[in-house]
Amino acid sequence: MASRITPTFARLRANKRPGLVTYITAGDPDLATSARILEALDRAGADLIEVGVPFSDPLADGPVIQRATERALAKGGSLRASLALVELVRPRVKAPIVLFSYANPLLRMGMEEFARTASGAGVDGVLVLDLPIEEAGPFHETLDRSGLDTIFLLSPTTSEARIRKAAALGRGFLYVISRLGVTGARDQVASDARALVQRVRAHTALPVALGFGISRPEHVAEVGAYADAAVVGSALVALIAEAGQSADLVEKIESFVRWLRGTTRNVHA
């Protein structure tokens, strides 16, 4: 099945509207609740959903997502459980789904088996956080055979040569992080984010999604002025941590995403 990512960004561009990309960790606070959260994200208008595979050594992630990974692992989270979760909700979720993972779980499963299973589950794209672009050729070919988009991560220190390589191998969109360091919500978007997006655009026509530190509707609007989409991760994961055991967790998630999109006030702020 063809990826849903390219048509989604084409529709956003045609409507002259920036996209909202949301991230959660699969299995946080537990797998059954994750399924309900994914459906709520879709209902609330997330244009694309990123699902993080819990891994025991999440070096690129800050404390909020690290704790989410620990909670997910404690409740049985894994790569196979994450794929089963996507397969479970896929019939009810319209938005494209991108799987975020470190390389180790994929290599342990076997790349061919992973690609087949992910495609069958309804995954649209895969981003491997610690896969060097220089070593991504065979990975890209394996995913491509299964109809999956290879998503690359670019940072303020990515060289022009590596941006060109990511643009050549990448499919769907490029994920640009606005600052160095680990993930985490911030009070404001990095001051040089616009220049970074412009530098990436000089090498590719692929859509650009900007993440790291985006947590408020004004951030989403600001980023949408120069990028194709804004990515909200840690702020959403922090809300799950805060409200994880409450009966209205899913309602709070849905309300928060509608607030980010500017369609309602945030009653839980």
Give CB contacts under 8 A, 24+ apart, made by 115-120: 115/142, 115/143, 115/145, 115/146, 115/148, 116/146, 117/80, 117/83, 118/83, 118/86, 118/146, 118/148, 119/1, 119/146, 119/147, 119/148, 120/87
Active site residue 222: no
Q: How far is CA 22 from the centre of its chain?
A: 6
Task: Please name every residue paired with 150 in a beta bridge, in sequence order, or none if there are none.
Answer: 126
C-beta of residue 150 within 8 angstroms of C-beta of residue 143: yes
The tokens of 231 are what? Answer: 């990515």
Active site residue 124: no
Single out the catalytic residue among 28, 42, 47, 61.
Answer: 61
Q: How far is the C-alpha of 222 from the C-alpha of 149, rounded, in Å?
A: 27
Single out the catalytic residue among 28, 50, 149, 228.
Answer: 50
Q: Counting Cβ atoms within 10 Å, is residue 69 exposed (0-12), middle (13-18) or buried (19+)?
A: buried
Residues annotated as part of the active site: 50, 61
